[in-house]
A = this chain, B = another copy of it.
Amino acid sequence: MTPARPKPDALHEAQDRFVATWGQMGSAWGISRTMAEVHALLFISGDALCTDDVMDRLQISRGSASMSLRALLDWGVINRTHKRGDRKEYFAAEQDVWTMFRAIVRERMKREVDPLLASLFEIRDMTGGLGAVGADHNARLDALLLFFEVVQTFGHRFISPAGEGLQAAADILNKADAP
C-alpha cells in the first residue's frame, strides 16, 4: 500500500472519481478532458493549488498544466492567488456553483452563439435576391434565427449581473416547480 497518507483514502478516491467524472462530462460538451479535470481538481479540493500540485496529482506535464490553467483563467472559472513569502502562483476555483455556470454560459455565448447568429444572418442575406426559389430556404433560416435569438435573450438574462441572473433563473424554476 501507499506508505504516506496525507488524506484519508476515501476522500482521495472520491476526489479522483469526481475528477474523472467531470473530465468525461467536459469531453461530451467540447471541452478538453484535461482542462475539465484540472478544473474538477481545483473545485473539489477547495484549496488553492500550484502548478506542481496539479501536475503531480493528475500526472500531466508542466506544459499541459500551464495551458489548462491559463484557459481556465480565460474562462473565468478559476482565479490566481499568492501566498505570503512564496513566489509561486496558486489557483483556486470559483466555489459558487451559480457564479461558475454564469461564467461558462457567458463564454459559450460569446464564442458560439454570437458568431452563429452572425453567420446565419449572413447566409440569409446571400439569398435575399432570389424570389420564390429561396423562400422556403429563408423561412427555415428565419425559424432557426428566431430560436437562437430566444436562446441569446435567455442567456443574457441568465448571465446578467449577480442578483438578476441568478434570481431570474431561480424564480423561473420555482414558479415552474409549483403546479
Instruction: Enumerate chain B residues within 8 angstroms of A97, measured Cβ to Cβ.
Output: 143-144, 146-147
Q: How large is the interface on A (under 10, 10 to 19, 20 to 34, 35 or more residues)?
A: 35 or more
DSSP class of A's interface residues: helix, strand, loop or mixed? helix
> Within 8 Å of chain B (Cβ to Cβ): is A85?
no
Q: Is the CB of A14 within 8 A of B123?
A: yes
Contact with B along A128-170 (1 / 0, CB 8 A): 0110011011001101101100100110010000000000100
| A127 located at the interface, meaning its Cβ lies under 8 Å from any Cβ of chain B in the complex | yes
Interface residues of A in 26-83 (CB under 8 A from B): 27-30, 43-44, 46
Q: In the complex the two chains form, is A17's CB within 8 Å of B119's CB?
A: yes
Q: Given the complex of chains A and B, what is the CA–CA distance between A136 and B77 in angstroms?
A: 19
In the complex, A176 has a CB within 8 A of chain B: yes
A109 interface contact, C-beta 8 A: no
Closest residue on chain B to residue A156 by CB atoms: B176
The docked-state distance in angstroms from the alpha carbon of A152 to that of B120 is: 30
Given A28-B112, A101-B147, A154-B173, check contact A21 B136 (CB 8 Å).
no
A76 to chain B, nearest CB (A): 17
Contact A21 B116 (CB under 8 A): yes
For A120, list chain B residues within 8 Å (CB).
18, 21
Report Cα–Cα, A154/B101, bound state, in Å. Answer: 15
B14-A137 in contact (CB<8A): yes
A59 to chain B, nearest CB (A): 20
Binding site for B on A (CB under 8 A): 7-8, 10-11, 13-15, 17-18, 21, 25, 27-30, 43-44, 46, 95-98, 101, 111-112, 116, 119-120, 122-124, 126-127, 129-130, 133-134, 136-137, 140-141, 143-144, 146-147, 150, 153-154, 157, 168, 172-173, 176-177
